[in-house]
Amino acid sequence: MMHTFPHDRRRHLRRLERARNTLQESAIALTIAGSDSSGGAGIQADLKTFSALGVYGASVITALTAQNTQGVQDVHAVPPDFVAAQMRSVLADLDIRAVKIGMLANAAIVAAVAEGLADFKGPVVLDPVMVATSGDPLIDAQAVETLRARLLPRADLITPNLPEAAQLADRPIARNEGEMEAQAHVILQLGAKAVLVKGGHSEGPEAVDLLVTPGGSLRLRASRIVTKNTHGTGCTLSSAIAAELAKGAALPAACHAAKAYLHGAIAASERLEIGQGHGPVHHFHAYW
């Protein structure tokens, strides 16, 4: 017996079928980062981004935060040996195609992550999370030095915002694209294979990011969206790049696609109305 369905339901069933097929064939990406109890940044943002882009997400949690849209109230760092145990467990079983690294909290955790990735052959995207959107510090000074020495040489891409790039390059915050590119070259000399300096903290009608490699630079631009809903934007961009790399995209194409995805997520953020401070972006803006 043949059943007929309203047009909307047939369309919904086709969408579900496509989603099932995509999931069955999807690549796997791993996020190594802290947990955001409000769901807008960190591990939660990364897994939402992976899912929205058709990639299966696995996670290694490095820290627990008591956090909401108004700030970070407390941080509990996961013991480094347990971070290492999570990495061994996941990497021994899952076919991880790309890794995104976020908040690492302290030097011992940075070292554990570096050691855990010693035999990993896929691309690594390092988001040097140092300060939350609210301004709260998320990493100590010794951890920054260990990150420079142990993880920068392992990163295929590092994605600092303007304050983070300045701190890594030991220079004042860049005031223009020339200074952004100059700081990126300093970071390249520390061992990173490519640097994406994010211009979200700059001013003007466009938000311009610079992808800088030893072979040249690529300018990525998007219209600036005026909104307070910027919680988790850095996590979302870096995990979107990792998702595209896991699917086999080349680095420039992955950065282009990730910026377009984030732009759409920021533009749709007003639909969510989450919290009383810096709200999250809308990771599933294409679906609901």
User: What are the residue numbers of the active site?
Assistant: 198, 230, 232-235
Q: Which residues does residue 67 pair with via DSSP β-bridges, in sequence order? A: 72
* Burial zone of 17 (CB within 10 Å; 0-12 exposed, 13-18 middle, 19+ buried): exposed
For residue 268, what are its two tokens?
A: 């749709």
Q: What distance lies between CA 9 and its chain's CA centroid?
A: 35
> How is residue 42 written in tokens?
């960190």
Contact, 95 vs 246, CB < 8 A? no
Instruction: Print burial letters for 213-250: b (CB count within 10 Å at least 16), e (below 16).
Output: beeeeeebebebeeeebbbbbbbbbbbbbbbbbbbebe
Q: What CA–CA distance (Å, rounded) separates 125 from 128?
A: 10
d(CA 93, CA 85): 13
241 closest CA partner among 132, 163, 120, 157: 157
In three state form, how does the secondary structure of 257-274 look?
Answer: HHHHHHHHHHHCHHHCCC
CA distance 76 to 253: 36
In the block, tokens 């952004």 appear at 180
Q: Structure tokens of 256?
A: 């282009």
